A and B are shown apart, each in its own frame.
Chain A
Amino acid sequence: MKGAETAAVLAVGLAGAGALSGALLPRRARVIAVGLCTAGLGGAGLTAGLMASGGGRWSAHLPGLLPMAGVYLAVDALSGLFMAVAGAVVLAVAVYGIGYAGGDHARGVASRGVQAALPLFALTLVLVPAAASVSTFLLLWEAMALTSLLLVLADQRDRASVREAGVWYAVMTHLGLVLLLAGMALFAACAGGETFTALRAGASGMSPAARGTVFVLVAAAFASKAGMVPLHPWLPRAHPEAPSNVSALMSAAMVNLGAYGIVRVAFDLLGGAPRWGWLLVLAAGALSAVYGILQAAMASDLKRLLAYSTSENLGLVLIGVGAAGLFASSGYPVPAALALAAALLHVANHAVFKALLFCAAGSVVRATGLRDLDRMGGLRARMPATAGFFTVAALGAIALPPGNGFLSEWLLLQSLINGLTVPGISTAIVLPLAVAVIALSAGLAAAVFVKALGVGFFARPRSAEAAAATESPPGMLIGMGLLAVGCTGLALVPGMLGDGLSRAVAVAGLGSGPTLSGDGFELRLDRLAASMSPLWVAAALTAGLLAAAALIRITARRGRRANVKLWDCGGGAPTARMSYTATSFAEPLQRVFDDVLAPEQDVNVTPLRESAYLVERVRFQSRIPDRIEHRVYRPVLAAVTGLGQSARRLATGSVHLYLGYGFFGLVAVLLALAVGW
């Protein structure tokens, strides 16, 4: 496979060139050079991925690199799909990044360190799926963590929250690495080899206990990278604080590698995991989907909302992967292949529309400097193109027909509904609940993105910054345009991914024949009487629209549409402060899910000095804390700091104590020897 190999080498070369130019060139030239190199790198990754998912396989072994281990690379259909997704996102976001980093507000993003780290981060995103040995995978995994940490800390000088987010991100990512290192090292030890081929060969000989431990450790590590609930606190901190083009890359490409890891290790290398393991994955996915979208519904910070929505979408992906594993482990490969195909399609869909959402959010932040939805408004009139792109992406995110999110959720529901043919108590209980979770998260997602779009972009500006907003420069619009084309392409012509998905599923050891086929315009599930042609649905909708417009045109009186004041109940023109903000929009939902969210509200009244009855000022403050983080992480942090404080007594500085340690150590050892240990 000459093509894929040259593409990979080209990618590495461009990354190196990008990093050097990022570090050395002056500011203007640096941003453009890095943008072009990263875009080229994304293109190379995309071509390599498409070639691989088209059936090509290549592998490379570089013994010289990475002492005591050597670097192994290999690409097959599964890694090809993820490389293609990562490459596409990197390409579009790099083009967008040129405009974004050029602005005067982006002093942090355009600094040398960040611009040098950006191409390296993009390279790791493209290369992680190509790793083919434990050491190479961990090397690329940690390199991705380090470069993304540098990028998250781009604006660390301006805000303390960025620094705190950076520390949380570094420690949580290292927790993930420790779990992954333990799991993969145990796997390599049991399988007696380090390369993935050796792991595949040795996997059958593993004891169920070892297999279960490896699965739990590795799944936990990858779930934390995908932002699944118990290990998610870094996601709603790192994504909003990172520059928007970086959070687009992280949300659209990096979190997918969490899902890739679980599929690669559990399906391909381990050759299937225990049933309880898959139930765990499914449960984690479901919990993250609901909890993520609930927190998104409550968030009034636009980028925090999008970060929690990433957690929800990855939850849906893991529901698909968990269901596929469940069906496969009870010996039904057909529904398993379908569920896995649905999960992989949702990864692709989510990557494209989430990247576009973050890019649009980035251009809003660039134009207004605001992230708080409550103070935005009226941006549609001032930034029509960005509002248009945000609408296209929101349509994908709310998973309704003309959007691309609908297809993967439809496929996921089909696989779960038809999964009931698999016997067993667990499926009978788990599948309906999974369908209910998907439905609830889809419904809440609709509410979230109506809030984001309606409150953020429509009606009148609620702050001076929003009123002074201007449209983004063409560079950013072209980047967003590319992603919008991707969204509509995936929405209307899903069939083009069809055979790529089937091959990826076959690599995971599930599919014998093609699970879903389609002549480009239609998605037909072969073994089930279900098919979906999104193009026809869109055509029917436009026809209906034109018919209704024609109905009005014919019957209504000729004459222009008059502009009229909004109805003001006779009390004077409605001001911008009267319109609904994100917090008020979410108030009914918050009241419905009150016990889950446990909002903290405090009112403090400052009476006048003279008399307690006269009130000088009343301050109301309401905050929706991340409950799981409070319930799980706060005690742990308190315990650790307590341990640290009490441990200071171990080093009180007295020479007697220090020598006493030595003396008791000596006496203890001698006693052990005397007793004849």
Chain B
Amino acid sequence: MKAIGTAAVTAQVVLVVAGAPLLAGTMRQVRARMEGRAGPGVVQPWRDLRKLLRKEAITPIGTGPAFRVAPLLLVATTAVVAALVPLASTVTPVSGSADLILVVALLALGTVALALAGLDTGTAFGGMGASREMTVAALVEPTILLAVFALSIPTGSTNLSAIVSGGIHDPVRLASPAGLLATAALAVAVLAETGRLPVDNPSTHLELTMVHEAMVLEYAGPDLALVELGAQMRLAVLLGLLASLSAPWGIATTASPAALALALVLLTAKVALLGSALAAAEVFWAKLRLFRVPELLAGSFLLALLAVTASYFLTGE
């Protein structure tokens, strides 16, 4: 029984580590196709990573341990989140402590590490990126936690396995207005957290607009590889979390290898589908001005607040 659980956890982590670049590749491919371009192919991100990993490791003058530890911490936090979140199965040895607040905090820890690395370089870009990233992160925090609050009301606890298995057994809860509002708020928060289009353009180098990119401008070689991998893993994990919260069918609730295999396949399908949908939508979105982002986040905060109060008023406790 425990072996299956550990197998599920390792499978999840391996799938996330290996699948994240592929997910990024598929999203870029979908986007290229819709813009009429041929696109570099789904495996291109792996090729970039391999190229970067073989490059020479460099340390900019005047930077300290924060600059060198940040990429490692980014990947580590995302890996731990991947282990905790019940992407494939809710019955794992770590599902007991898979607390949604812990997950949100770990992601925030990765962001803080990267911001500190940006400041450590002492260049204008690093400082600007860090300052904007921390502003956005600070404004996203209330939305995410209120969405967590909304999701935890039906099950009475913030434990992810409980929420997901609750969702599987009682699907009507997911379609309820509270569930929908919470998922919408969470979706906007995920966009802000991973730095996707309306908040930040991941593929830009224009210093006026870039937020995430500015912090990692000084990285090169293996460190840059880790940063890229970390960003892609974060996107994959968050999309997986969104999928398991809003569409939990297929996640193994029993400790049988067959269910686990099926869950893994379904997980990849769901995440790929969600990724391409996001890529397709990004074609039509333009990046918001930095000081209009708070309005977007305020809107998502309102959605989350309505989600919480709606669930109270509707269920009439």
Contact = CB atoms under 8 A, between A and B. Distances in A.
Query: Do A and B come into direct contact in the complex, CB within 8 Å?
Result: yes
A544 B79 contact: yes
Contact of A536 (B97, B105, B119, B290): B97
Chain A's interface size range is: 35 or more
Judged by DSSP, the binding face of A is helix
B141 A443 contact: yes
Contact of B130 (A443, A454, A589): A454
Contact of B141 (A381, A439, A536): A439
B139 A531 contact: no
A444 interface: yes
A22 B116 CA distance: 43
Interface stretch (A83-91, A512-520, A554-562): A554-562
A417 B158 contact: yes
Contacts of A529: 156-157, 159, 162
Interface residues of B, number: 87
Contact of B138 (A410, A417, A444): A444
Contacts of B72: 544-545, 548-549
Which one of B101, B124, B294, B305 has the greatest number of beta carbons of chain A within 10 Å? Answer: B101
A444 B138 CA distance: 5
B256 interface: no
A346 interface: no
Contact of B123 (A447, A532, A542, A566): A566
Nearest to B150: A432
B116 A450 contact: yes
A377 B57 contact: no
Contacts of A530: 99, 157-159
Contacts of A578: 122-124
B96 A548 contact: no
A99 B131 CA distance: 35
B106 interface: yes
Contact of B124 (A400, A417, A536, A579): A579
Contact of B317 (A421, A443, A574): A421
Q: Which of A377, A453, A542 has the largest number of chain B CB atoms within 10 A? A: A453
A141 to B, nearest CB: 37
A417 B54 contact: no
Interface string A445-474: 011001101110011100000000000000
Nearest to B57: A561
Nearest to A446: B112
Interface string A552-594: 1001110101111111000000101011100011111101100
Interface of A: 377-378, 380-381, 398-402, 406, 410, 413-414, 417-418, 420-421, 423, 428-429, 432, 435-436, 438-440, 442-444, 446-447, 450-451, 453-455, 458-460, 528-533, 536-537, 540-545, 547-549, 551-552, 555-557, 559, 561-567, 574, 576, 578-580, 584-589, 591-592
5 contacts: A381-B64, A417-B148, A458-B122, A579-B123, A589-B138
Interface of B: 50, 53-64, 66, 69, 71-73, 75-77, 79-80, 83, 94, 96-97, 99, 101-102, 105-106, 108-109, 112, 115-116, 118-124, 126-128, 130-132, 134-135, 137-142, 144-146, 148-149, 152-153, 156-159, 162, 217-218, 221-223, 225-226, 290-291, 294, 301, 305, 308-309, 312-313, 317
